[in-house]
Amino acid sequence: MSHNNMITLNGVVSTEIQVKIISNKEMALIFYSKVEILENKVDSLSKQFERHLSSSILTWVSISDIAKQHNLTPDAIRKRLQNGDFEEGQDFKRVGGKIQVHQGAIAQLQRQRRSKNG
């Protein structure tokens, strides 16, 4: 339902305004649509967060794989792990008779190698 009113300034009609009165039902529909938009945004952010989390889950790589990728010997990597600032259980772990290195420690190993060679 609309109401038309005339505004008079100094005896001159200057503009016409329209005031729309909405019912409670219309207001509820508008509110519901806004809530639905927010729910969709929250759902989208949740999915993005889950993808980010799953991509940053800790991964462990065997010393032999690292050696192949970085042209090092497994013994050289072992020595760096034992003599460097690496913690067993956090940066590397023993699984059976093999040592596995956390992906974060691999980057640290590379930095150490560059600093010794540079």
59-102 pLDDT, tens digit per residue, is: 888 999 989 988 889 998 999 898 888 999 899 999 998 999 98
Q: In the structure, what pLDDT confidence band is assigned to residue 20 with cuts at 50, 70 and 90? A: confident
Question: What's the pLDDT at 4?
Answer: 53
| Domain presence at residue 109 | yes
| Domain presence at residue 11 | no
Q: Write the Ramachandran bin of 70: left for phi over 0, alpha for psi from -120 to 50, otherwise beta.
A: alpha
pLDDT above 70 as % of the chain: 74
Whether residue 45 is found in the same domain as residue 85: no
Q: In the structure, what pLDDT confidence band is assigned to residue 14 with cuts at 50, 70 and 90? A: low
Question: What's the pLDDT at 1?
Answer: 45
Question: What's the pLDDT at 21?
Answer: 79
Whether residue 50 is found in the same domain as residue 67: no
Whether residue 64 is found in the same domain as residue 43: no
Whether residue 64 is found in the same domain as residue 113: yes
Q: Does the pTM of the predicted model rise above 0.85? A: no
Whether residue 64 is found in the same domain as residue 52: no
Whether residue 34 is found in the same domain as residue 64: no
Which residues constitute the domain of residue 87?
A: 60-117
What integer best gives the mean pLDDT of the chain? 80
CA dihedral 28, 32, 34, 37 (to 10 degrees): -170
- Comparing C-alpha atoms, which of 60, 99, 97 is closest to residue 82? 99
Q: In the structure, what pLDDT confidence band is assigned to residue 32 with cuts at 50, 70 and 90? A: very high
| Domain presence at residue 7 | no
Which residue, chain included where needed, has tokens 């093999």?
98
Give residues with Cβ within 8 angstroms of 80, minimum separation 6: 86, 109, 112, 113
Whether residue 85 is found in the same domain as residue 110: yes
Please count the structural domains in the chain: 2
Whether residue 35 is found in the same domain as residue 82: no
pLDDT average, residue stretch 92-118: 81
Whether residue 69 is found in the same domain as residue 52: no
Whether residue 52 is found in the same domain as residue 91: no
Q: Cα angle at 108 between 105 and 109, to 5 degrees?
A: 90
